[in-house]
Amino acid sequence: EDQVTQSPEALRLQEGESSSLNCSYTVSGLRGLFWYRQDPGKGPEFLFTLYSAGEEKEKERLKATLTKKESFLHITAPKPEDSATYLCAVRLGAQKLVFGQGTRLTINP
Amino acid sequence: DAGVIQSPRHEVTEMGQEVTLRCKPISGHDYLFWYRQTMMRGLELLIYFNNNVPIDDSGMPEDRFSAKMPNASFSTLKIQPSEPRDSAVYFCASSFMSGGAETQYFGPGTRLLVL
């Protein structure tokens, strides 16, 4: 069965304290791995797409990496405004996305 | 562009009533998706359309749920009759398939509470 598992479920950091979020997947025929950010009461907001092992994408304090079985979202020197739930999803077949449960990230000032 | 537009933003109804959720995708996008998000099950795909045609409805929980896309700028998700377990946030998303790369853009969601 195709599965996407994110860890940890919740993470609390101090401002400036770097860390990583994990997304592991067991799918047949991966056709893209996506990271989204979701703020309370809002829809998910697209961050990155990764397609092949070894690929990396960066945006401000965030960097996403991909291996054959997992992806990491590295956050460097985070700020309180980076607090959100981060969702990982894998694309199966033509367009279907399967999402993980998310990691709730809190950055304390 | 205004992004994906959903209405209503909040809906409170009683068990047994019909509920209709509405979505306007981003202009020019040829895919439209309906998702449901709950604490227990996370974000789940219900159904998606390509060029107004339903492609995969395997995520629709049961016959009480139906979705339509009469034209490229409008879609509805209907629940009839509604039940308390349908309480969730329903998201609509749209995308444009170009060269094999696509990104789904989500609307703000409709928060549904069935009493």
pLDDT at A91 over 90: no
Q: In the prediction, which pLDDT does B100 show?
A: 55
pLDDT at B109 over 60: yes
pLDDT at A66 over 70: yes
Q: Average of pLDDT values for A30-40? A: 92
Q: Please check whether residue A43 touches B, CB under 8 A.
A: yes
Q: In the prediction, which pLDDT does A31 show?
A: 84
What are the pLDDT digits (tens) for B50-99?
A: 999 999 999 998 899 999 999 999 999 999 999 999 999 999 999 987 65
Of all residues in chain B, what percent carry a pLDDT higher than 90? 88
In A, which residues are within 8 Å of B106 by CB distance?
36, 43-45
In A, which residues are within 8 Å of B101 by CB distance?
49
Task: Let me know if B49 is exposed, middle or buried by CB neighbors in 10 A (0-12, 13-18, 19+).
Answer: buried
Instruction: Considering only the beta carbons, identify the residue of A41, A46, A87 that sits closest to B43.
Output: A87
- Count of pairs with CB atoms under 8 A, one residue in A, one in B: 48
Q: Please check whether residue B55 touches A, CB under 8 A.
A: yes
Neighbours of B100 (CB within 10 A): 8
Q: Do B48 and A96 touch (CB under 8 A)?
A: yes
Q: In the prediction, which pLDDT does A92 show?
A: 80
Give Cα separations from B25 to B36, B56, B74, B103, B115 (angstroms): 17, 18, 7, 13, 29
In B, which residues are within 8 Å of A85 by CB distance?
none
Which DSSP letter does residue B62 get?
S
Q: Average of pLDDT values for A27-31? A: 78
Q: Please check whether residue B104 touches A, CB under 8 A.
A: yes
Q: For tokens 């990271």, what's the residue?
A: A35
Q: In the prediction, which pLDDT does B98 show?
A: 64
Which DSSP letter does residue B84 get?
G
pLDDT band for position A10 (cuts 50, 70, 90): very high
Q: Please check whether residue B87 touches A, CB under 8 A.
A: no
**Least CA distance to A33: which residue of chain B?**
B103
**Least CA distance to A34: which residue of chain B?**
B103
pLDDT band for position B23 (cuts 50, 70, 90): very high
Tokens representing residue A61 in the block: 């304090």
Tokens representing residue A66 in the block: 């991909």
Lowest mean pLDDT among B2-6, B47-51, B97-101: B97-101
Q: Do B91 and A44 touch (CB under 8 A)?
A: yes
Instruction: Considering only the beta carbons, identify the residue of A42, A95, A99 that sits closest to B42.
Output: A99
A residues 2..31 contacting B (CB < 8 A): none
Cα–Cα distance, A71 to B26 (Å, whole number): 29
Cα–Cα distance, A35 to A15 (Å, whole number): 22
Lowest mean pLDDT among A30-34, B4-8, B85-89: A30-34
pLDDT band for position A95 (cuts 50, 70, 90): confident
Average pLDDT of chain B? 93
pLDDT at B19 over 80: yes
Q: Which residues contact A62 (CB under 8 A, 6 or more apart)?
A: A47, A48, A73, A74, A75, A76, A82
